[in-house]
Amino acid sequence: MSEVVSYRRVDDIGVLVINNPPVNALSHAVREGLLVALEQGLADDQARALVIIGGGRTFPAGADIKEFGQAPKSPSLPEVIDRIEAADKLIIAAVHGTALGGGMEITLGCDYRVARADARMGLPEVHLGLLPGAGGTQRLPRLIGAKAALEMIVEGKPAKAAKLYEAGILDDIIDGDLEAGALAFARKLADDNAPARPLCQRAVSAVKDSLFADFRAGIEKKKRGFLAPFHCIEAVRAAVERDFDAGVACERELFAELLSSPESAAQRHVFFAEREVAKVPGRAKDTPKRDIQQVGIIGAGTMGGGIAMNFLSAGIPVTMVEMKQEALDRGVSLIRKNYEATAKKERMTSEQVEKAMAKLSTTLSYDDLGDADLIIEAVFESMKVKKQVFAELDRVAKKSAILATNTSTLDVDEIANATSRPQDVVGMHFFSPANVMKLLENVRGKATADDVAATVMDLSRRIGKVGVMVGVCHGFVGNRILHKRQEQAVQLVNEGATPDQVDRVLHDFGLPMGPFAMADLAGLDVGWRIREDIRENDPDNAPERNWMDALAEAERWGQKTGAGVFEYAEGDRTPRRSEVAHAEIEAYRAAQNISPRDIDDTEILERCLYVMVNEGARILEEGIAARALDIDIVWIYGYGFPVYRGGLMFWADQVGLSTILERIRSFHVETGAEVWKPAPLLERLVAENSRFADL
């Protein structure tokens, strides 16, 4: 008997229990154990039917992703499922938790499926750059039709039991004890001589000729750069156009292509990196955390409101503070407007909106924050203003409170030293729009206490964010790297490229938008004020004045003023070429005696991305980020770096660090610019023939 799969009989029904914590991943041992237990059940004369059920918190949540890339071991999952389907006894899958990927495919090999009401099932392989490779693309269309199967497989979103029952995937929903309910269900089937229902013998119902072409056209824009969604379409098409065995062979082939693709390697890296970032090196798993039951937020502007929504949606009461009543009223109505927009898209019910809004209270007095466990400051990005706010918080906040700043660039240590309790101060850098963007850069100051750091990391997950712990420096991890790229982008335009060309190259690479469309979205005034702040407070590092400053000073602030580097038509966010901006650029070149040259796309891509990699290496050297995967997750969830490239540092490893170093060295020789001085870490890794991933 295997350790991970057991067989026993309960009166006249055999039960196969899979127990491979934490998520019953279908590792080699589980597959082997399943076959052994299955044969035992089939050979058990007193067992009239068999139930497959998961132990612990869930039915199998898929193949063991850690085994991908290793030499395949038999039995494969398709072999196990084919054996289940060919069995001469009825087999019922009893689902709780999340039956995902190969787990759901096992249920499709069974004759009947039942589940608890809170169970979910789905085929999320596409998020790993794969497709359901154990018959799911052939059996699901036979069960629910090709169109519904296509949506489920290409979107990869799990569905709730009620929806699954409606769709005909589930045969019953079990209230109370799942095993008891499944046994009763199996017994009734046996009593009624219910038929076996092997899906492999069922035909796929007819579809519209244009189904696959229409579906492909419908996802082209949204799935730009991904490989797997389009392979999924071809696999489901095979289910319609070929017989079962030929369809399975086609699925196998497409799966093998994806499994060896760089896109899937990248997406699998991101799957594990997203979980690894929560485990901060050097922090014990059992580090105590502070109890966060009430939150205060200073500032009811766009950021303050968005931040508040995260806590309200997680059921945590929020007190919002502002200087003036109209600012408070504006903040509250913006929050309600955002919630109602979400409800309109049926992503929330109106009851949920009212429940969240009921947890929001407002005040004009800091004194009402005396009970808050965490207070987040989201005021104007000025050191002077932030220090005043923190001095006030120091006066009113209770002893155990955590004081957090939402600054996106400023020195968290300097802010902390404006209080008598720097150990309770931490940065919580949300990204705009704060109620949508998944990333939360948690900034640990020199004095920040362990329990404070552990608390904000834990809280990140509680409010639906991916928290990454970073150190203090100008711009932390995300914006520090962004600034280098933006500088390079402006430099390329100074030398002869156009903003349109630079944006096209980075958009084609897979970023949601180019540097200049992004600057226009964020607001040219934001970057300009930060540069002005440095020019005023740190003249030694004052950035050179350029055409972007000229545009900002002309109040061309981007989308919010209808014009910036690009022009924007009323109500349209599409960036269009701007003759005014081009004139500013030419004027700047003339003033600097620059004769513009032709710059090709390769140079643009290399300069914009390699400067980021070099800065990433410096950030790792300084310990501002603990691992390369922290930088990957920051750039994927904060700046839309394409997930099918795995993040900035993973991508650099794929390109090859020696290739990147060679180009960086030549840019350094050509320009002599400090920014192109190769990071010692990069040079060391190349010398050792290592990668960022090996650190």
130: contact with ligand T1G by CB under 6 A:
yes
Q: Of 63-71, 341-349, 376-384, 518-526, which part binds ligand T1G (CB under 6 A)?
A: 63-71
Residue 127 backbone phi and psi in degrees, to 5? -75, -10
Helix then strand then coil, % of the chain, to nearest 5: 55, 10, 35
Choosing from 13, 77, 376, 599, the residue that interacts with ligand T1G (CB under 6 A) is 77
Q: What is the C-alpha separation between 363 and 378, in angstroms, rounded?
A: 15
List CB contacts of 113: < 8 A, sequence separation 6 or more. Answer: 92, 93, 95, 107, 169, 170, 171
Cα gap 678→624, rounded to integer Å: 18
Kindly provide the b/e burial profile for residues 192-213, where b requires at least 16 CB atoms within 10 angstroms of the residue's own CB: eebebebbbeeebeebeeebbe
Cβ at position 163, least distance to ligand T1G in Å: 17
Binding mask 12-51 for ligand T1G (x = CB under 6 A): ----------xx-x--------------------------
Residue whose CB is less far from ligand T1G, 105 or 111: 105
Distance CA 422, CA 445 (A): 8
- Tell me the β-bridge partners of 375: 296, 403
Note whether 263 binds ligand T1G by CB under 6 A. Answer: no
Which residue of 14, 33, 41, 62 would you call a contact of ligand T1G, by CB under 6 A? 62
Tell me how far, at minimum, the Cβ of 378 lies from ligand T1G, in Å: 28
Q: What is the closest distance, in whole angstroms, from the C-beta atom of residue 628 to ligand T1G in the complex?
A: 17
Strand partners, 428: 442
> Does position 499 bind ligand T1G by CB under 6 A?
no
For ligand T1G, the binding residue among 275, 324, 446, 573 (CB under 6 A) is: 275
Q: Does 171 bind ligand T1G (CB under 6 A)?
A: no
Question: CB count, 10 Å around CB of 423?
Answer: 15
Shortest separation between residue 365's beta carbon and ligand T1G, angstroms: 40
Rounded to whole angstroms, how far apart are CA atoms 134 and 22? 22
247 touches ligand T1G (CB under 6 A): no
One residue of 94, 106, 114, 134 binding ligand T1G per CB under 6 A: 134
Between 461 and 573, name the residue whose CB sits nearer to ligand T1G. Answer: 461
- Residue 132 sits in the site that holds ligand T1G (CB under 6 A): yes
Looking up tokens 């998520």 gives 23
Which residue, 48 or 139, has its beta carbon nearer to ligand T1G?
Answer: 139
DSSP 46-71: T-SEEEEEE-TT-S--SB-GGGTTSP
Taking CB under 6 A as the rule, does residue 133 contact ligand T1G?
yes
Q: What is the closest distance, in whole angstroms, from the C-beta atom of residue 104 to ligand T1G in the complex?
A: 8
Map residues 90-129 to x or -, x wherever contact with ligand T1G holds by CB under 6 A.
--------x-xxx--x------------------xx--x-
395 touches ligand T1G by CB under 6 A = no
Among 10, 65, 143, 534, binds ligand T1G (CB under 6 A): 65
- Of 58 and 479, which has the nearer Cβ to ligand T1G? 58
Mask 471-490, x = binds ligand T1G (CB under 6 A)?
--------------------
Q: Binding of ligand T1G at residue 629 (CB under 6 A)? A: no
Q: How far is the CB of 30 from ligand T1G (least distance, A)?
A: 11
Q: Is 429 within 8 Å of 415 (Cβ atoms)?
A: no
Strand arrangement of the beta sheet that strand 98-100 belongs to: 98-100, 120-122, 159-160
Residue 121, H or E segment:
strand 120-122
Hey, what are 439's tokens?
């990333």
Nearer of residues 125 and 441 to ligand T1G, judged by Cβ: 125
119/624 with CB nearer ligand T1G: 119
| Closest to ligand T1G by CB, 152 or 624 | 152
Among 61, 152, 297, 481, binds ligand T1G (CB under 6 A): 61
Helix (H, G, I), strand (E, B) or coil at 372: coil
172: its two tokens = 């019953």
Minimum distance from residue 12 beta carbon to ligand T1G (Å): 32
Tell me which of 16, 18, 64, 114 binds ligand T1G, using CB under 6 A.
64
β 49-54/172-174 pair status: unpaired
C-beta separation of 89 from 55 below 8 A: no
Residue 630 near ligand T1G by CB under 6 A: no
Residues within window 584-603 making contact with ligand T1G, judged by CB under 6 A: none
CB of 479 to ligand T1G, least distance (A): 28
Please tell me whether residue 78 adopts helix, strand or coil conformation: helix
Size of the site for ligand T1G (CB under 6 A): 25
Pairwise CA distance, residues 136 & 124, whole Å: 11
523, 511, 530, 533: which is closest to 565 by C-alpha? 523
Distance CA 390, CA 375 (A): 10
> Least distance to ligand T1G from the beta carbon of 279, Å?
7
| Pick 152 or 375: Cβ nearer ligand T1G | 152
SS3 (DSSP) at 86? coil
CA dist., res. 505 & res. 654, Å (int): 19
CB 440 within 8 A of CB 406: no
Query: 582, 578, 584, 553: which is closest to 566 by C-alpha?
Result: 578
Where in the sequence numbering do the catalytic residues fall?
105, 125
Q: Does 82 bind ligand T1G (CB under 6 A)?
A: no
* CA–CA dist 237, 247 (Å, integer): 9
Confirm or reject binding of residue 73 to ligand T1G (CB under 6 A). Answer: no
Closest CB to ligand T1G among 110 and 530?
110
3-state secondary structure of 50: strand
Give the interface with ligand T1G as residue ranges (CB under 6 A): 22-23, 25, 61-66, 77, 98, 100-102, 105, 124-125, 128, 130, 132-134, 136, 272, 275
